[in-house]
Amino acid sequence: MNEKQPRKPLGKAARILISLAVTLVFGLVYFYVSLPALNLQDGNFYTFVFLLCVVFVVASLFTSGFRMAPGSGVREYVRFVKTQCLPVGILMVLLIAVGLIGTLVSMPIFRAAAYRDLLTVADGDFAADIAQISFDKIPTLDRSSAEYLGDRQMGTLSDMVSQFEYSNDSTQINYQGRPVRVAPIDYADLIKWLTNRGEGLPAYVLVDMVTQEASVVRLPEGMKYSFSEPLGRNIVRHLRFRYPTYLFDTPQFEIDEAGTPYWIAPRIVRTIGLFGGTDIQGAVLCNAITGECRYYDIADVPAWVDNVYTPDLIMEQYDYHGTFINGFLNSILGQKGVTMTTEGYNYIALNDDVYVYTGVTSANADQSNLGFLLSNQRTKETRFYEAPGATEYAAMGSAEGEVQDLKYKATFPLLLNIAGEPTYFIPLKDATELVKSYAMVNVAQYQLVAVAGSVSQCEQVYIDLLSQRGIVSEEERPETQISGVVDDIRSAVMDGSTYYFVRLEGGEVYYAVSASENPVAVLLNLGDKVTIGHAVQTGDEDASILSAYSLTIDGKAAPDAPIAAPEPADTASSPAPAEEDGAVTAPIYG
């Protein structure tokens, strides 16, 4: 009877090949799941390589038949690595050394001047740079309200609601001259993904931040690349496989001027030492439908793109700038001239770009602001405007105090130029996230608060307050009245209120008059002589509709003049009014 022969030990080459194969399989799975950038500036890269080294050593231990002698402890493992896996051991030590040295040379204590210069901040002239914005440019929603409206809109689509859901991941952009929020929809669950992935996501949600109208925009071809894709078409995984060495910030969803959906992925670089000084070098634009990608350096990013520099990055860079303005020691000891951004931010649309706005306060972070920042999210052009006064949250509390009986909550404010005065504009919303009223709070004197049901009426009340306090003289008040003969009258019912749109002889602009605020509007006839108090037309000289806050009939029409019956506004032949919740026109923010 033949005895079983003992198995021959594996040769050195075989052991190495098996260990490499195990390490390769582990590395492929880990890379597919965790998606580290193959870049020395990515901390996840060091974790990835270190784990590969550990897997190789463990595999080598098993394939070599290693048995640790009793009581030998860690020394036996170290001896094994030195004799059997020396190159891998050296690599592990090298990784640790590079990581520690890279962290050390990136610390602000050694590079305070470099951190200070990450952001170039110019001084701006508030009155000159921030022109008084016409009402169809003023956002009346915050992000949560916009997403509430977007989610509610999904419920109106019976063919989609069971298969898809609102993503609650919206981005504020300028679209065809309007401030809007756009968001993709997601697959409702894994089963819905399996049954619909062939066609992709069929639509995205668009919310007009001015008119508060939400719509689901159906696409001729579905979006194949998104965050809700779990496998290869996941947008992060798709970008990583196309650009394995790039560091990316979170991709943002946008649409171009034709309505084509894209993912905008800013490319991150570390400019100080190995890990410090985070900045943006460019951006990859990925077509959400086809997956086609194209990289642009920061100076070449198309003008329609609005989100390259995130608000958090801009605020982080300014905090470095303000903290180290007079050196590292001063930031700790004397703190002379040390400033920082306030908590929170908002957006404003200027010159067809989206600017992030945030306040600037002293190192003590008290209840007063020194001024505020505006920074272009595409170019990072940043200006500081000196405007001492209350912080945003102090102004929000002041606005809520005016409507405490209604229990409205203030949204984060937007800074506007009203009659030359820095002014917080604050929409007030109820418990259902719907905007019900508007407040304007003077930055320098935050006890000056105007509250009204429409933007135009709120502005008029606010300007009256400024005049009463002597802050704005009668000569400095914006001219907001026009007189003339009524040449055309149209009407529309919006959100339960009737609005009359009046055009005067020789003019092209229609003035929107609320019948609930100006009942005399129902008596208007063609040929009447009227005086209309209206919104100042600045920032958009081509505006075809302006909000009116007052109407006076100076003279009745001649006896033989026909009585004009108000006719519904014809969107094909006249400008289409836009209003909701009492606001005739308005813009966007987040």
Token digits of residue 546 = 């302006």
pLDDT of residue 476: 59
Is the pLDDT confidence value at 500 over 70? yes
Which residue shows structure tokens 């190495």? 16
Closest alpha carbon to 248 in 258, 256, 238: 238
Is the pLDDT confidence value at 554 over 90? no
% of residues, the chain, pLDDT over 90:
43
* Sequential DSSP letters for 312-379: HHHHHHHHHHHHSTT-HHHHHTT-TT-EEEPS--EEEEETTEEEEEEEEEETT--SEEEEEEEEETTT
Report the sign of the C-alpha dihedral through residues 417, 421, 422, 425, in that order: negative
Which residue shows structure tokens 């394939």? 63
Which residue shows structure tokens 């916009």? 146
CB atoms within 10 A of CB 352: 11
Q: Could you report the per-residue pLDDT of 506-538, keeping only the tens digit for each?
A: 888 888 888 887 888 888 899 999 988 776 654
Closest alpha carbon to 297 in 252, 262, 266, 260: 266
d(CA 221, CA 219): 5
Token digits of residue 303 = 């003008």
d(CA 558, CA 497): 29
Say yes or no: domain 481-568 is CATH 2.40.50.1010: yes
Asked if 141 and 178 touch (Cβ cutoff 8 Å), the reply is no
d(CA 376, CA 314): 9
Is the pLDDT confidence value at 443 over 60? yes
Closest alpha carbon to 411 in 146, 74, 75: 146
Asked if 482 and 534 touch (Cβ cutoff 8 Å), the reply is yes
Give the chain's end-to-end CA distance (angstroms, integer): 85
Asked if 48 and 30 touch (Cβ cutoff 8 Å), the reply is yes
d(CA 88, CA 74): 17
Q: Is the pTM of this model over 0.85?
A: no
pLDDT of residue 8: 56
d(CA 566, CA 493): 11
Question: In terms of pLDDT, which residue wins out, 113 or 574?
Answer: 113
pLDDT of residue 234: 95
pLDDT of residue 398: 92
Closest alpha carbon to 236 in 38, 34, 39, 42: 34
**460 band by pLDDT with thresholds 50, 70 and 90:** confident
Which residue shows structure tokens 């790039």? 246
d(CA 547, CA 553): 17
Is the pLDDT confidence value at 257 over 50? yes
Q: Could you report the per-residue pLDDT of 423-437, keeping only the tens digit for each?
A: 999 999 988 888 889
d(CA 447, CA 443): 9
% of residues, the chain, pLDDT over 70:
84
Question: In terms of pLDDT, which residue wins out, 411 or 78?
Answer: 411
With vertex at residue 356, the alpha carbon angle to CA 391 and CA 457, rounded to the nearest 5 degrees, is 65
Please list the residues that pair with 373 across neighbouring strands. 358, 384
Mean pLDDT value across the chain:
83
Q: Could you report the per-residue pLDDT of 315-327, keeping only the tens digit for each?
A: 999 999 999 998 9
Domain extents in the chain? 12-105, 145-308, 392-468, 481-568
Is the pLDDT confidence value at 163 over 70? yes
Asked if 442 and 414 touch (Cβ cutoff 8 Å), the reply is no
Question: In terms of pLDDT, which residue wins out, 560 or 416?
Answer: 416
CB atoms within 10 A of CB 305: 21
Radius of gyration for the chain, computed over Cα atoms and rounded to the nearest angstrom: 31
Asked if 393 and 348 touch (Cβ cutoff 8 Å), the reply is no
